[in-house]
Amino acid sequence: MKMSIRSTRAAVALAALAAFGASTAVSADAAGTRPLLKVPFPCQQEWRGATWSGHNPDRAIDFNQGSGDSDLGRAVKASASGRVTAASNVGSGYGNRVIIDHGNGWSTLYAHLNSINVSVGQNVQDTTTIGTVGKSGGQSTSHLHYEQRADGSPVSIKFGTATWVPYYATDYYTRIHC
């Protein structure tokens, strides 16, 4: 079977995670059953995701669709159903930020939003537009900063049942289960 470059990179990333040991991927499930989290954008949109050494926090990913501000104002979707626990501008750093509690100690964080379309206490579905891509918090170009958290701490990001985000690399992601 011929694998695409992206599939090959994903396989290499999975092998690296396995070699790295339980301290990354396995311990990330310590909070409870990990929800099936989706790429935080509308169906069938492909987004470039970048991770790098020195990113704060280390287990975050920045999504964009090109150079400059070409993605400014594009819809950001909830990765799964849950309850909004934070939705405000926290100033320099994250800027406009939304946090969604998915239960069992799991949450997702979305930052640098241009606009916030939800409020604290609101129940959302994975189809809910929670905001739009921006550059709040002092960012020079628009992008979405995204984290998956277990018991409040950022963990290795996984979409669906098998798509682990490779660290430290750039790859492409599409929400396919709509």
As assigned by CATH, the class of the 5-174 domain is mainly beta
- Going by pLDDT thresholds of 50, 70 and 90, the confidence category of residue 30 is low
What is the percentage of the chain residues whose pLDDT exceeds 70? 83
Q: Which residues pair with 115 in a beta bridge?
A: 132
| Lowest mean pLDDT, pick from 18-22, 49-53, 133-137, 163-167 | 18-22
Q: Which residues pair with 74 in a beta bridge?
A: none
* Res 72 pLDDT > 60: yes
Domain ranges for the chain: 5-174
Per-residue pLDDT reduced to its tens digit, 108-157: 999 999 999 999 999 999 999 999 999 999 999 999 999 999 999 999 99
Tell how far CA 151 is from the center of its chain.
16
Q: Are 154 and 114 in contact (CB under 8 A)?
A: no
Sign of CA dihedral 51, 97, 77, 47: negative
